[in-house]
Structure 1
Amino acid sequence: MKLFLKYIFSVIITAVSLYGCSVSKYIPEDERLYTGATLTVQPDSIVKDKTGLKTELSTVLRPEPNKRFLGMHLGLYYYYKNQKENPGFINRWLYKKFGEAPVYQSDVEAYEVERLLLNRLENRGFFYSRASSEFNETEKKASIHYTVQVPKPYRMASYQLDSMPQQIYNDIQPYVDTTPFKTNMRFDLTNMKMERQRIDYNLKNKGYYNFDDTFLIFEADTNRYDNKRFNLFLKLKKAVPEKSTIPYKIKTVNIHTNYEVTDSVKTETIRYNDKNYIQNNTFFKAKYLDPFIKLEEGQLYSPETSRNTARRLSNIGAYKYVNIQYKEIDSLQTDSLGALETNIYLSPLNKRAIRAELQLVSKSNNFSGPTFGLTYSNRNLFGGGETLNISSTVGYETQLGAGDNAGRSSLDLGFKNELIFPRVLFPININEDFFEYDIPKTKTSISLNYLNRTKLYTLLSGTALFGYTWDANRYVTHEINPISVNYTHLSNTTTEFEEILDENPFLRRSFEQQFISGLNYSFTYNGLVDAQKRHQFYFNTTFDTSGNTIGLLGKTNTSNTPKTFLGLEYAQFVKADFDFHYHLNFGNEQVLATRLFAGYGWAYGNSDVVPFVKQYYSGGPYSVRAFRIRSLGPGTYNSETDSRTFNFFDKTGNIRLEANIEYRFPIYSFFKGAVFVDAGNIWNSKGNPAFNGKDKFTSNFLNELGMGTGFGVRVDIQNFVIRFDLAAPFHNPSLPENERFNFDVSSPILNFAIGYPF
C-alpha cells in the first residue's frame, strides 16, 4: 500500500513539474486548445449593477475550458496518457479520478453564444443590443473575447390587470394592487415569472385547485411612448380551461387511519367533528387525531393547509406515510364553484419495535469495556399516538495498565421508561389551534441508574421528568421541562474513597447534594436544514435552574446548615449554555464548519459548588478531539504530576469554552474526509484547593486552552454517519507555560463516534 501511494505521489509530482505544459505535443495539428472567454459590457447609458449584469451574462459563455491546477492542465494530461495503447493501471485510475477530455477551439460556437447573450439582455429589458466576438490565437492555444453593446433599457410606466372572467378578476386584483412592481422598473422576465408564481400561490390558497401560473401571460405595450417606456398588462391565455377559473370547496373529508394498500378487510366509518374516520378497528381514536387535521368540510381548497396537515400528522410518530389526495366531484360543480372530496391515507409504522446497541468505551483513566443497550418501543400505545420507550443498558469497564489502580472495575446498570403524548397535557385546557405549525408533545420519563465502582463506592440515582417540546416553525424548536427531579444516593463508600473526599472538599460537596429539583428550557434555531444554502446557521441555548421553587418550601435547621426538603438537602444553582454553529457551503459536498460553545454554572444558597452530574467536562469525539473524553483541564491542572488518588476521577468544572473549525470534503462515494482544529478547556470560578488553584478561571484563559488538530474519515450513508477522527495536541495547558506549544504527533488520539461533531 505504501508503495502504491508513493508511486501515485511521484506521478503527480512529475506531472506538475515536468508535464504540466507538455500537453501541447498531444494537441492535433489542426486544433488549438481552448483556454476560455472574456467579456466586455459597453453600455450606452448608466446601468445599475453593471457588475451583476456582467456576472449573469458570463453564465452563458460556453464551453468551459479545461481546468488547471497550479497553472497545469493535469486532468488533460491524464486524459492524453490514457489514450496510449497500454496506459497501465495507475494511468487508468488517475484518468478516472482526475482526467477530462480536451476542449478545442472548434468546440466553441461563437454565434450561438452571441445569440444567448442577446437573449439574456432582452430578457432584462435591453432590447436591440449588439454582440460580437473575436478569437485570440497562438500556435497551440486560443481564447475568445465577446463584446456586447447595451442600449438604454425599457422601463415600466404602469401595471394593470386586463379583462378576464369576473370572479377570478376580483380575486387577482388585490394582488396586482399590492405588487412589488414599481413604476420605472426595468423590463425583466425573471421578475415577471416571480410575479406569476406569487399570484398563483395566493390563488391556490383561495381555492383555485386547477389553476396554474402558466395560464397567466404578460403583454407590454410601447405604442403610447417614444422614450423606451411601456405599459404592462396581466391577462389569461386563450383557451384556459373553464374549471381553472373557479375556486373549489372541500365537500367531504375522509381519514383512513390505518390504511394499507393491500387492505381488503371490511371497514367502519365514524363521524366525528364533520369528518369521516375510516378504519377496520379503532386504531387511532378520532378525538385525538382530529386536532392534527386542519382540513375541514366547507373550507376552500388550500395547498398550504394541506401541507400543514401532512406535516402535523407526520410529526405524531405513529405513521410512516401520509398521503393527501383530492378528487373532483363533477356532479356538484357549478359555473362559480367546484367541489372536492379529500382522502387522507395514513399508513402506520410497526406498532412494536426493538433496537439494540453495542458500544466500546475507552476513557482517559484507562477504563475500557463494552456497553450494551436494548430499547423496546410501542407506538400508539393507547390509541392516541402515544409512544412508550423502555430502555435498559448494561455497561462494564475495567482499568488496565494503570499501576496501583489496575484491575479496578465499574458496573453500570440503567433503566429508563419514557412515555410521549402527541398533545398538551395540562390542568387548564389549552387551545391547540394556537400552535399552527406543530402541536406540542408532552414528554414524561422515569429513570434509574446503578453504578458500582469496586473499592470505592456505589451510586444509586433516579430521575423524573415532565415537559413539553414543539416546533414553532421549520427552524425553531422549544423544549421546556417545568418538572425535573434528580435524586442520588451514595453508599458503600470505602476508606480509600473517604480519604479522597477528605482531600477534595469540593468533590465531597458535589456528591452531598443529593436532591436536584428545578426547571430547564432549551431554544434551538436550526438553519442547517437548508442544506443547499451557502451560509447556514445553528444556535442553541439552554437554561437549567434548580432549587428556586422548592426553596420557598425548604426548611432551615440552623443558620449554619443547608435547607432541606422532606429531610433531603437540595441543590441550588443556575446554569446557561450557548452553542453556535456556522457552516460555509462551497457546494460539491465541501463545507467549512465552525462551532463556538460557552457554558457557565453558578451555585448559590444551599450549594457551594454545582452538583457533580451538572458540571462540564472537555475532551472527546464531540469536543477537543486531541484529548480523551473528560481528560482536559480543569485549567492548567496536570494529574500526571499529582500522586493523590483523586486523580482517578473525571475532571469537571463549572465553566466551559470551546471553539472548532473543520473542512469537510468528499473522497469517494459515501466516504468523506475532514481536517480540523479544536480548542477548549474547563475551569472553576472558585479555585479548588485540591488543584492548588490551577483550575481557577482568570483573564489568562486564552493561554490555557487545549488545542489540537487532525484529520478524519467518515462513512456517510444517507445521513447515517460513522466517524473516525485522528487528532494530536499542539498546545497542552497542563504542561509548563514555556513547553505548552508542542505538536505531539507521537501520541495521537483515535476518536470513534456516530454522527458529525457539530
Structure 2
Amino acid sequence: MINKTTGYFLFLLCMLALFSSCSNIKYLKEGEILYVKGKVELEPDTSFPKKYIKPLQENLEGYLRPQPNSSIFGLRPKLFFYNIAGDSVSEKGIKGWLKYKVGEPPVLLSDVSRTYNEDLLRNRLENIGFFNAEVRSDTTVKKKKATITYFAKPNTNYKIKEVVFELDSTDFGKIIADSKEKSLLQPGNPYNFDVIVNERNRIDNELKEKGYYYFNPDLLLIQVDSTIGNHQVNLYVTVKDNAPDMALHPYYINNIYIFPDYSLQQGDYQMGIPTDSTYQGYHIIDPGHTYRKREIIRPMSFQKGSLYNRSSHTRSISQLIGMGTFKFVKNNFIPVDSANSNLLDVYYYLTPQPVKSLHFEILGKTASVYNGSDVSVSWLHRNAFKGAEQLRISVFGGYEFQTGGNVSLNSSFYRYGAEASLTFPKIVSPFNWSPTRRYVPHTTIKTRYELLNRTNAYNLNSMSFNFGYAWRENVRKEHALGLLEVAYVRSGSITDAYELELQQNPNLRHAIEKQFIIGPNYVFTFTNTMEQQRKNTMYLRAGLDLSGNILGLINGSNYKEGKIYNFLDAPIAQYIRTEADFRNYTKMGSNSEIAARAMIGFGYAYGNSRTMPYIKQFYAGGPNSLRAFRARTIGPGSYQPEAINGGDFIPDMSGDIKIELNAEYRKKLFSIVHGAAFVDAGNIWLLNEDENKPGGKFSKNFMNEMAVGAGVGLRFDLTFLVLRTDLAIPLRIPYLPKGDRWVLDKIDFGDKEWRKNNLIFNLAIGYPF
C-alpha cells in the first residue's frame, strides 16, 4: 500500500518531469526544433544472427553526431539549468556556473547533418565487412522535438578466405612468418578493419621483442582483395617499399647512463659524463651521492650487449616508478654515431620527489546521529637510507560523539596514538627470493600504539607490530603476505557506571578483555576494473588470517580442559579467519552502471581461545555496510540487544560469520554530481550458541535473519576524492518477531517519530564498494 506521503512524492516527481520537459521547449526560438534522439534500425537479411542485431544497433548509434542533450528518465536537467540561467550571462557568479558548468546548450535539429551520419554509418559497416551496406534516414517531428531514424541495410558480410604473408627470407621476414600462428587474421572470420589494425600492432610488438627498435606499425601494409567473389576477401601482409633501413635491423644496447638526481630544468645531455662514474657496467651520474649505486641499478633490465626488447624497456621504467621516490622517469635511446652501427646508448633521467614532506589531514564525518572528526600529521622521508626506503612517522587523534537517539555511556569516545613504518622497495629476506621482476615488491615494517577512551566507560591500550611483503604479479593480481602480525590489547580504567552495565549485560565484557594475537596473514586481490573497454568488470579480495596456530599445537592448548597459555597476562589468541569480498560492475551506458557486492566472512576459534578476539570479529551496519543500520547494531542473527540503564544504546554487536549482499545503481546527473539508488542485505552470526545472545547462532534458517535496507544518495566526484551522502531506511529488521520482520507497511515519511528512528544519514568519503 502506498501511503499519503509516498503518493505526494510520486505526484511531485511526475509534475517535475512534465514541467522540465515542457519548460525546455518554451525557450526555443521561432523555427527551432530540439533534437532529442538519433536511433538506428537494422534491416538485415535472414542469414544475420538475431543476437547480434541489438548490439550492432547500439554500436552504430554511438557514432552518430551530435549526440542529443543528456536525459534522465526523459528529463533533460542540464538543458533545463542552461535555459533558466537566462541569456547574456557572464561566466562568473552563480548563474554563470549554472549555465556553463552545470548546464549545456540545446542540440537543435539544424545542428544535425543526416548525410554526414549516413556516410559515417556506411563507413563503419564497411570497416566490419559489410562492403555493400545501404543507409537511409527519416526525420519525425512532434511538438518541436525531432527524432532521426537511420535505416541500415548491411547486406552480406564479407569473410576472410586466405591470409598471405609476402615476406623475404631475411631474419626480419622469418620473425614475422614464424609468428603467423598467433595472427589475429584467420580464414573464415569476418573482415574487420579494427582487427587489421590490431594485427599490425601485434607484429610490431613481435619485432620490438627481437630488437627492432625503429620499426613501427605504419610500415606494415595489409592489402585487401575483395574481387575474388562469393563475398570473400584475401589479405596480403607485406612491408612497405619505403621502409627505412634502420627499421629493418635489430639493435643492441651499448652504454647505459643513469641520472638519479636529475632536474627537468637541466635538459637532456649526453656530453661531459665523468669517467669515474662506472659501477658494474652502468654509468651512474650522481655527484651528491643521493642513492646507493647498488640500489639504483636494481631496477635495470638492460645490460651492455643486451638485445633491445620492449619487455625489458617497459619493465625498467615500471620498476623505477614503482620505487616510489621518483616524480618523473624519462628514458632516451640514442644510436651510436658510427658507420653501420646497430648499437643504442640508453639514458635514464630520474627526477626525485621532495625527499622530506609533512602531511596534515583533518576529516569531519557523520553517520546518522554520530558525528566526529579525525586529525593526523605524517612526516615522510622518501630516501631514508639512500635506497629509496620510505620512513613514515604519524601521530593521530579523533573524537566521535552521539547527538541524538538513545545516548549510552560509551556512545562517545576519543582516541590518539602514533605509528611508524619503514618500507623497502625490494624483498628483505635471507633468501635470494623475488616474486616478480616486472613490478617492484615491497617489504614493510610497521609498529603502532593507540589509546581509545570511551567516555564514562573504559579505555583500551593497543600495540601492534607487522612485518610483511606486498607484490604485484601482473596488472590484475596483487599479493600481500604478512609474515608476522603481533597485536596486544588491554583495558585501562573502567568506570563504576560501566561495571554496572557489565553486570546487567555480560556480552559487553568481551570488548575489554585482554588480547594477544600473533601469526601470519595473506591477502590476494584481483581486479580488471581499469579496463574501461569492458562492459563487465570485477574485483575480488580474499584473505586468510591465522593466530597462535603453531604455539597452540606445541603447547597442546585447550581452553575446555583449562590448558590456557598466556603472554603478558593475556591469553594467546588461536583462530582461523577468512574473508572474501567480490564486486561486479556492469556498465548500463556511458554515464551509468550497476555495482554489486557479495561478502562472506568466517572465523573459527579453537585450542587456546573460546572466541575470536573482539578486534577480529565481524560486524554489520554503517556507511560501508548495511547503510540503513548504524554500525555494530545488527545481529548476531535475530538477537536484539536489551536496553540498558533506561534505554541506552550499546553499539557493540559482533560475530564469527558474516554474509552481506549489496547492489547500487549509479548514474551521472550533471557536472560532478552523481546519483545512486541502493539495496543492502546481510547480517552476522555466532558459530556457537551463546546463552547471553539468544537467536545469535548460525543455522539453516539464516536467510530468515537477513537485514534489508534501501536508500538513495548523491556522490560528488571531486578531482581529488569522491564525497558521498546516503539516506537509507530499513526494509527488514531481523530481531522483530517472525512474520513482522518486513516493515514496508510501516514506512511513513510524514511521521516525525518514524523519521527519527528509521531515516539513517551517512556522509562518507569514497564509494561504499
Task: Compute the TM-score of the two structures, normalised by the length of structure 1.
Answer: 0.84
CA apart distance, 1:474: 0.7
- The alignment status of 1:103 with 2:109, answered yes or no, reads yes
| Distance change >3 Å, CA 144–CA 185, structure 1 → 2 | closer
CA distance in 2, matches of 1:315, 1:185: 41
Distance 1:370 1:37, change over 3 A: closer
Q: CA deviation digits over 1:91-144, x for unaligned, max 9?
A: 99799846633326x95554x6665565555545555x3747475889998966
Q: Which amino acid aligns with 2:630?
A: R
Output the CA distance in 2 between the equivalents of 1:301 and 1:591. Answer: 43
Q: How does 1:170-569 map to 2 (within 5 A)?
A: 170-220=174-224, 231-262=234-265, 270-331=277-338, 333-334=340-341, 338-360=342-364, 369-396=372-399, 410-430=413-433, 432=434, 434-453=435-454, 455-498=456-499, 500-501=501-502, 507-508=508-509, 511-554=512-555, 560-564=561-565, 568=569, 569=571
Structure 2 contact 184–195 (Cα < 8 Å) conserved: no
Bigger relative contact order (CA 8 A; separation at least 6): 2
1:442 Cα deviation (Å)?
0.9
Cα 1:604–1:511, aligned 2, differ >3 Å: closer, same or farther? farther
Which one is further off, 145-154 or 743-752? Answer: 145-154
Q: Which string of whole-angstrom CA distances, capped at 9 and with x for unpartnered residues, describes residues 411-460 of structure 1? A: 42312111111111122222x3x512223211111112223445544422
Question: By how many angstroms is 1:630 displaced?
Answer: 2.2
Q: Cα distance 1:353–1:240, how it changes in 2: closer, same or farther (>3 A)?
A: same
Give the whole-Å Cα distance in 1 for the aligned partners of 2:655 and 2:620.
9
CA-CA distance at 1:626 after TM superposition: 1.9
Q: How does 1:634-645 map to 2 (within 5 A)?
A: 634-639=636-641, 641-643=643-645
Secondary structure, counterpart of 2:277 in structure 1? strand
Distance in structure 2 (CA, Å) of the matches to 1:723 and 1:601: 31
Change (3 A) 1:82 1:324: same
| Alpha-carbon distance, 1:378 to partner | 1.2
- 1:3: which partner in 2? none
Partner of 2:5: none
Letter in 1 for 2:109: V
Deviates more, 1:276-285 or 1:554-563: 554-563
- In 2, Cα distance between the equivalents of 1:411 and 1:45? 71
What SS does the corresponding residue of 1:726 show, helix, strand or coil?
strand
- Give the corresponding residue for 2:691: 689
Cα distance change of structure 1 residues 309 and 663 upon mapping to structure 2, 3 Å threshold: same
Alignment of 1:566-715 (within 5 A): 568=569, 569-639=571-641, 641-643=643-645, 648=650, 650-691=652-693, 693-715=694-716
Q: CA deviation at 1:581?
A: 0.8
The structural deviation recorded for 1:637 is: 3.2
Write the deviation string for residues 191-214 of structure 1: whole angstroms up to 9, x where unpaired: 322221110111122221211111
Question: Does the CA-based 8 Å contact 2:638-2:696 persist in structure 1?
Answer: yes
Gaps of 5+ in 1: 1-5
- Distance change (3 Å), C-alpha of 1:11 and 1:99: farther
Distance apart, 1:61 and its partner CA: 8.0
* Secondary structure of the corresponding residue to residue 698 of structure 1: coil
Cα 1:636–1:267 change in 2 (3 A) is farther
**Residue identity matched to 2:18:** I
Letter in 2 for 1:538: Y
Indicate the SS of the match to 1:384: coil
CA contact 2:594–2:663 (8 Å) conserved in 1: yes
Q: Indicate the residue corresponding to 1:733 in structure 2.
A: 734
* CA distance in structure 2 between the partners assigned to 1:446 and 1:218 by the alignment: 61
Q: Is the 8 A contact 2:159 2:187 kept in 1?
A: no
| Shift in alpha-carbon separation, 1:267–1:409, aligned structure 2, 3 A | farther
Which of the residues 166, 170, 187 maps onto 1:166? 170
Q: Is the 8 A contact 2:81 2:103 kept in 1?
A: no
Q: How many residues align?
A: 737
Matched letter for residue 630 of structure 1? R
Equivalent residues of 1:602, 1:654 under 8 A apart: yes
Greater C-alpha radius of gyration: 1
For residues 501-538 of structure 1, what are the alpha-carbon distances to aligned partners after superposition, in whole Å with 9 as ceiling and x for unaligned? 45555554665453211111111112222245321100
Mapped partners of 1:709, 1:590: distance in 2: 19
Distance of 1:350 and 1:615 partners within structure 2? 41
SS where residue 757 of structure 1 aligns?
coil
Instruction: Measure the CA separation in 1 of the matches of 2:39 and 2:356.
Output: 62
1:619 and 1:299 map into 2 onto residues whose CA distance is 57
Instruction: Find the aligned partners of 1:290 and 1:52 in 2 and give their Cα distance.
Output: 54
Equivalents in 1 of 2:259, 2:451: separation in Å? 46
SS at match of 2:561: coil
Single out whichever of 549-558 and 401-410 deviates more from structure 2. Answer: 401-410
How many Å apart are 1:228 and its aligned residue?
6.2
| Between 67-76 and 288-297, the greater mean CA deviation after superposition | 67-76
- Correspondence 1:54-133 to 2 at 5 A: 55=57, 58-59=60-61, 97=103, 100-103=106-109, 108-110=113-115, 119-120=123-124, 122-125=126-129, 129=132, 131=134, 133=136
Q: Does structure 2 conserve the Cα–Cα contact (< 8 Å) formed by 1:626 and 1:727?
A: yes
Change (3 A) 1:447 1:38: closer
In structure 1, distance between residues paired with 2:406 and 2:732:
27
- Say yes or no: does 1:750 pair with 2:761: yes
Q: Residues 176 and 452 from structure 1, CA distance in 2 versus in 1: closer, same or farther, beyond 3 angstroms?
A: closer
Q: Equivalents in 2 of 1:62, 1:495: separation in Å?
A: 73
CA contact under 8 A between 2:42 and 2:53: conserved in structure 1?
no
Structure 1's 149 and 515: CA in aligned 2 closer, same or farther, altered over 3 A?
closer
Distance in 1 of aligned mates of 2:609 and 2:724 = 39
1:156 equivalent in alignment to 2:161: yes
What is the distance in 2 between the residues matched to 1:398 and 1:117?
61
Q: Provide the secondary structure at the position in 1 that maps to 2:296.
A: helix
* Shift in Å, 1:723: 2.1
Determine the C-alpha separation between the residues in 1 that align with 2:397 and 2:154: 76
* Separation in structure 2 between the aligned mates of residue 611 and residue 409 of structure 1, nearest angstrom: 22
Partners of 1:641 and 1:84 in 2: how far apart? 57
Query: Is 1:19–1:77's contact at 8 Å kept on the other side of the alignment?
Result: no
Moved more, 576-585 or 497-506: 497-506
Distance 1:599 1:78, change over 3 A: closer
Alignment partners' CA distance in 2, 1:653 and 1:559 = 20
CA contact under 8 A between 2:281 and 2:304: conserved in structure 1? yes
Per the normalisation by structure 2, the TM-score is 0.83
Amino acid at match of 2:676: A
Conservation of the 8 A alpha-carbon contact between 1:26 and 1:80: no
Q: Per-residue CA shift, 1:374-401, capped at 9, x if unaligned?
A: 2211111001111111112233456677
Asked if 2 retains the 8 angstrom alpha-carbon contact of 1:585 and 1:591, the reply is yes
Alpha-carbon shift at residue 373 of structure 1 (Å): 1.9
Q: Deviations over 1:541-581 (max 9, x none)?
A: 11111111122443769983233155752111111111111
Contact 1:674/1:711, CA 8 A, preserved across alignment = yes
